[in-house]
Amino acid sequence: MERLIRGARDLGVPLQQEHLDSFRVYFDELVAWNRRFNLTAITDYDGVQVRHFVDSLSCLLALPRAGLQAGARVIDVGTGAGFPGLPLKILCPEMRLTLLEATGKKAQFLEHLVVRLGLRDVEVIHCRAEELGQRVDRRERYDWALARAVAEMPTLLEYLLPLVRVGGAALAQKGEGAPAEVHAAEMAARVLGGRVRKLMAVDLHGLAETRYLVVVDKVAPTPEKYPRRPGMPAKRPLG
């Protein structure tokens, strides 16, 4: 897994043999399940290493690793095949991770993979973000809410910020359109109790395009009416 090793090293994240063993199992299970269910369009060995594993680990450039190792509560919204949450969990086993996925087959894969990897303190929830954000036992309970390739920023913040406690933060992984998306989401952030802290460009070995990490601090409680009912954040984004 040379691309994974080099990519992680470039991020300042040295990998141990136990990590590599887990990533190999992850790759094998991803490919095997993808033959039956559409989990991801990227299944080639090099592509998975860079576009899924290294890309997920790049979140550690913005996440406080000490906090993750101390048991921070993290939710990965619209996680799909487990990205970025599960690669981060492999590196930071003490974090308490919730994987939120609305597609049933993907949720089944995640449940299987968590057992296969022997991971503890990982919960898989088959639900929509708009529904979970209105549940009393989940609303404003997480230190970090993460998302990758889920929605445009104004919509995404309505998924993420209601789940984050005041003092916590949301982290969105974005492509080259991130600066424009962040600008368009400024009003949504304010309405939902957030404030953009930083927009960080990330260059990954093996990728031509620039990736971005967007960090939005939760500075005030989210008004009770948000998130709106399923489908509304995407149909009528704030702003």
CA distances from 144 to 15, 147, 229 (A): 23, 10, 22
Q: pLDDT tens-digit profile of 1-54? A: 999 999 999 999 999 999 999 999 999 999 999 999 889 999 999 999 999 999
What is the edge-to-edge ordering of all strands in the sheet holding 211-218? 122-126, 96-101, 73-77, 142-148, 164-174, 211-218, 194-202
- Number of domains, the chain: 1
Averaged confidence pLDDT in the chain: 95
pTM, to two decimals = 0.96
Q: With the CA atoms of 20, 23, 29 and 33 taken in that order, what torsion angle do they form, in degrees rounded to the nearest 10?
A: -150
pLDDT value of residue 77: 98
Q: Where are the extended beta strands (E) located within 8-141? A: 73-77, 96-101, 122-126
Per-residue pLDDT band for 66 (boundaries 50, 70, 90) equals confident
Assess whether pLDDT exceeds 90 at residue 178: yes
Rounded to 5 degrees, φ, ψ at 177 are -85, 5
What is the rounded average pLDDT of the residues 151-156?
A: 96
Q: Which two tokens stand for residue 81?
A: 């095949």
- Print the domain residue range for 184: 2-235
User: How far apart, in whole angstroms, are the C-alpha atoms of residue 152 and residue 183?
Assistant: 11
Is 163 in contact with 139 (CB distance < 8 Å)?
yes
Helix, strand or coil, per DSSP, at residue 177: coil
Q: Which two tokens stand for residue 191?
A: 């309405």
CATH number at residue 72: 3.40.50.150
What does R_g of the chain's alpha carbons equal in angstroms? Answer: 17
Q: Which residues of 51-68 are buried (b: 16+ CB within 10 A; e: fewer)?
A: bbbbbbbbbbebbebebb
Q: pLDDT tens-digit profile of 104-152? A: 999 999 999 999 999 999 999 999 999 999 999 999 999 999 999 899 9
Peptide bond connecting 227 to the previous residue in cis, omega within 30 degrees of 0 = yes
Assess whether pLDDT exceeds 90 at residue 65: no
